[in-house]
Amino acid sequence: MTSMLVRSKVEDFQTWKKGFDEGADLRTSFGGGAEQVFQDASDPNTYVAVIEWDTLEDARKFAQSPELKAAMAKAGVVGTPTVYFMNRT
């Protein structure tokens, strides 16, 4: 099992969260599974999301997809997110 951890700043957390929730089908189509979202306690417009994937390859394909880039722009992501790919041991 692979997880992708994403940390980023957004223009408005509630707007971003709505877009994230609406993107569930897109993530599923790339092999995404369970997910958790955290809002930074000291900066409400910074989030961390952890998403499980079937494979590392699926996670990387999703991270590089034009669909994700468009969804991020629409949801108000600021700058380039920090992304980590992690394998459960």
Calpha distance 57→31 (Å, rounded): 10
Calpha distance 53→3 (Å, rounded): 6
Residue 54 DSSP class: S
Find the mean pLDDT for residues 42-53: 97
Q: What is the pTM of this model?
A: 0.91
CATH 3.20.20.100 given to domain 2-87: no
Q: Does the pLDDT value for residue 9 go beyond 90?
A: yes
**Per-residue model confidence as pLDDT tens digits over 16-40:** 999 999 999 999 999 999 999 999 9
Question: Domain residue spans in the chain?
Answer: 2-87
Decide if 26 contacts 68 (C-beta within 8 A): yes
Calpha distance 6→2 (Å, rounded): 13
Higher pLDDT among residues 1 and 36, named by residue:
36
Rounded CA Rg of the chain: 12
